[in-house]
Structure 1
């Protein structure tokens, strides 16, 4: 039954993502995966589909990685929007390292120096979260680089957020436990919401396109109906 939508509401359609491998000695001539995301013409013929097939070998395609995944998802969004205009896709993924990949300029407290400059990566600018203990700083844009282009260090970033880090050392050695809160500057900064709640590249692509995504718990393939697909040989 089609939902009754009020003004401003959109129909949400779930699309489950999955991967499968076949080997040359499996003797499979055909594989039917019912219900994959496609675009059809007026006659019902498939004109475009979202799945990707790669042929991995020494001289073939590379192993599936984040770059290929993002390319596929962007294509899937295009197919979905053409096939289901004015609808929202809920992309459902299982747990995978490629699904959780963060961008190169991700915020990483333990890769920062105590002081500004030096050999440390330049990280993306961020907004001081509403959970910041110094209320007057909440919601402010915080640049992670200086006007001269150098990366800011732990001390300046924390002080700009209103933390008193006087006499606090930069990092524990060995690396402190996640359960710690303010044993060192790096741990204190890593516990802030803007550092802990960073979106993966995959989720960013989907959200920026106006769609939704969720990730299934680990080792629970029964939650993914695509795992029940039927193969014919």
Structure 2
């Protein structure tokens, strides 16, 4: 006889039905998990007040910094291959690369902090879209920089006995490592997380397919009557 104080293993398990208020279809243009009424309430959230440049100006400044930094990194690679890492031109160019690179990185990171989950209303879809845009943009800068650093490191390390310049290949190895680590952390903690949440609440958005968003590529827009492909 089963102990009356404990549930018998022969008792059937209780299966909880899904919340009937959650809609898991593609019938409406908004997300996978909200009713019409729930989605409409997002429009009542006041716009978050932010400080700094307007979005268009800030984006232009970012890409100026990013393009200059990438050109400087490539130039430093060329200078290091014909000279040495302690030469004046290499030191000056690589230092300038670091300044522009970190300026663009910090500019984006500050914008993300203003829109992060700990300072925003989670029902504010507009602010969350901006946060995702900045996270994607950050990877769009770090991944090409990491690629250049990796290619130059391979070249410099393979010729290390000829170049006799430890700092040369080590600097580009560090450039590859820090950009790779930060881009992976950003992809895992910010891009995929926010992309999936926006898909749940809003449906079709610019970075709906997280695999593409990680590489800075926008998602194709959904067409009416076609089933959505999940990331």
Q: Same fold (TM over 0.5)?
A: no
Which one has the bigger strand percentage? 1
Higher relative contact order structure (alpha carbons within 8 Å, sequence separation ≥ 6): 1
Q: TM-score, normalised by structure 1?
A: 0.29
Q: TM-score, normalised by structure 2?
A: 0.29
Which one has the bigger helix percentage? 2
